[in-house]
Amino acid sequence: MLIIPLQSNSVYMRLHRNLVFASIDSLHLIFNEKKQADKVLKNTLKRDKRWGARDRAFIAETTYDIVRWKRLYAEIAEVKEPFDRPNLFRIFTVWATLNGIKLPDWPQFEGTPTRRIKGRFDELSKVRKLRESIPDWLDELGAKELGKKWDKEIHALNELADVVLRVNPLKATVEMVEAALAEEGFQTERIKGYPHALKLAERGNVFSTKAFKDGWFEVQDASSQKVVQFMDPQPGMRIVDACAGAGGKSLHMAAMMENKGQIVALDIYENKLTELKRRARRNGAHNIETRLIDSTKVIKKLIGKADQVLIDAPCSGLGVLRRNPDTKWKLSPEFLESVKNTQQEILVDYSRMVKPGGQLVYATCSILPSENEKQVKQFLDSDSGSEFILLKQEKISPAQSGFDGFYMALLQKKE
């Protein structure tokens, strides 16, 4: 059975009209107006100051659950996009019935065929693309690229992601964070092989804790933490984080480098670099310099200057579907082709920043070989890549690890 019970035990609560309506409103914006799920929920959850933690958890988890299983639930409910409001209530009815929730006596739920819903669920679950709730093209692509492994990987990517923290050694030890969070009611577990990682025993809002506000930790999946471990940055190095975004990996590098040396964090989006600066202040990371890529000059100035260059490349994001389930409805074969071209362009262009004897790390949060090892091979076979040799590569499987799907390759530039 693939249904995921809500973590907050909200399933045992009576359904409240304002919470259900808030979920329906959120689904309308995500499905019909193609808005980003996390941004929609951020706004929805601010709507009513009276909502407590459990109320907000109900809205967020219900909405994400229905986004994750959209195709399966819509097939069971026999509705098609664009979903009008009665359609959205029919889909909600499917979700509630499969989660064993008693539906209230509201006009929106009149004549719910409970037995039929369960029967259709059993029937449709025999077909992988419906059981795992994915578009036809994605199912075909996954099977083509991963063969028999696709079944387990896509199943794992539909499970609820753990909340993993990365302790910031510039400010605290793992023991200090464990103790501080325990005092505020958060139990944590260590993860073998990840020296600064802690996993929350139960989901909760750790952003409100004093330890977070004091910069003792960041929320970062174990697989994402693995990328910087894989790079092994050393104090005193000059490192370019070429697609830095809001800087999770830059912050991790700064901690591993003990604030010694320099990290040049590049991105094409100024708002992401502004967020990185804010996070760096909270983390006590002083060796990060942000630079906006607003012309080719930014890269030219860094040619041959870096000990290490990290390319955390734009990708399909298939490896992080558990935390971004709306991605599978936004992806298209055309986007995937275009992002693969971008990946190759970035590899060719940004690899020039590596100095002789220096290293290049290419990473994605995808599980597709066409975005990963095949991209590295294509680069190494090109004129630009002929100066590099592949030292090692690693794939993190969501099915085997229980964490996000990631790929990373370490290349060295010849002296």
The CATH number of whichever domain residue 287 belongs to comes to 3.40.50.150
Closest CA to 264 of 227, 284, 292: 292
Number of domains in the chain: 3
Which of 172, 188, 219 delimits the end of a domain? 219
Whether residues 304 and 353 share a domain: the answer is yes
Query: How far does CA 256 lie from the centroid of its chain?
Result: 23
Express each pLDDT in 355-366 by its tens digit.
999 999 999 999
Identify whether 115 is part of a domain. yes
Q: Are 205 and 53 in contact (CB under 8 A)?
A: yes
* pLDDT given at position 316: 98
Q: What is the mean pLDDT of residues 173-188?
A: 98
Token pair 């592949």 is found at 390
Whether residues 176 and 246 share a domain: the answer is no
- Residue 375: CB partners within 8 Å, gap ≥ 6? 340, 343, 344, 347, 362
Share of the chain above pLDDT 90, in %: 94
**Phi and psi at residue 397, to the nearest 5°:** -90, 125
* pLDDT given at position 75: 97
In whole angstroms, give the CA distance from residue 240 to residue 233: 11
Q: Most distant CA pair in the chain: distance in Å?
A: 74
Q: 19-42: buried (b, 16+ CB within 10 Å) or exposed (e) per residue?
A: bbebbbbbbbbbbeeebebeebbe
Whether residues 201 and 256 share a domain: the answer is no
3 confidence band (pLDDT: 50, 70, 90): very low
Identify whether 384 is part of a domain. yes
* pLDDT given at position 112: 82
Give the least confident one: 111-125, 178-192, 332-346, 368-382. 111-125
Q: Are 357 and 413 in contact (CB under 8 A)?
A: yes
Which of 83, 114, 133 delimits the end of a domain? 133
Q: What is the mean pLDDT of residues 236-242?
A: 98
Express each pLDDT in 129-147 by its tens digit.
999 999 999 999 999 999 9
Cα dihedral 51/54/59/62 (nearest 10): -170
158 confidence band (pLDDT: 50, 70, 90): very high
Alpha-carbon distances of 98 from 79, 92, 93, 119, 338, rounded to whole Å: 17, 10, 9, 11, 38
Residue 4: is its pLDDT beyond 60?
no
400 confidence band (pLDDT: 50, 70, 90): very high
Whether residues 262 and 202 share a domain: the answer is no
Q: Which amino acid is at 306?
A: A
Identify whether 199 is part of a domain. yes
Give the least confident one: 63-72, 111-120, 264-273, 316-325. 111-120
* pLDDT given at position 27: 98
Q: What is the mean pLDDT of residues 24-42?
A: 97
115 confidence band (pLDDT: 50, 70, 90): confident
110: domain CATH number?
Answer: 1.10.940
Residue 41: is its pLDDT beyond 80?
yes
Q: What is the mean pLDDT of residues 265-280?
A: 98
Mean pLDDT (the chain, rounded): 95
Whether residues 28 and 60 share a domain: the answer is yes
* pLDDT given at position 13: 56
Q: Are 41 and 59 in contact (CB under 8 A)?
A: yes
Whether residues 318 and 401 share a domain: the answer is yes
Q: What is the mean pLDDT of residues 327-340?
A: 97
Identify whether 142 is part of a domain. no
Identify whether 267 is part of a domain. yes
Whether residues 365 and 231 share a domain: the answer is yes
- Considering the entire predicted model, what is its pTM? 0.94
Whether residues 187 and 236 share a domain: the answer is no
In whole angstroms, give the CA distance from residue 36 to residue 159: 20
Express each pLDDT in 12-31 by its tens digit.
458 999 999 999 999 999 99
Identify whether 151 is part of a domain. no
Residue 99: is its pLDDT beyond 60?
yes
List active site positions: 365
Domain that holds residue 281: 222-413
* Residue 60, token pair as written in the block: 């967020």
Whether residues 313 and 381 share a domain: the answer is yes
In whole angstroms, give the CA distance from residue 153 to residue 117: 27
Whether residues 199 and 268 share a domain: the answer is no
Identify whether 3 is part of a domain. no
Express each pLDDT in 300-311 by its tens digit.
999 999 999 999
Rg, C-alpha atoms of the chain: 23
Whether residues 129 and 16 share a domain: the answer is yes
Whether residues 237 and 372 share a domain: the answer is yes
* Per-residue H/E/C for the chain: CCCCCCCCCHHHCCCCHHHHHHHHHHHHHHHCCCCCHHHHHHHHCCCCCCCCHHHHHHHHHHHHHHHHCHHHHHHHHCCCCCCCHHHHHHHHHHHHHHCCCCCCCCHHHCCCCHHHHHHHHHHHCCCHHHHCCCCHHHHHHHHHHHCCHHHHHHHHCCCCCCCEEEECCCCCCHHHHHHHHHHCCCCEEECCCCCCEEEECCCCCHHHCHHHHCCCEEECCHHHHHHHHHHCCCCCCEEEECCCCCCHHHHHHHHHCCCCCEEEEEECCHHHHHHHHHHHHHHCCCCEEEEECCCCHHHHCCCCCEEEEEEECCCCCHHHCCCCCCHHHHCCHHHHHHHHHHHHHHHHHHHHHEEEEEEEEEEECCCCHHHCHHHHHHHHCCCHHHHEEEEEEEEECHHHHCCCCEEEEEEEECC
Identify whether 156 is part of a domain. no
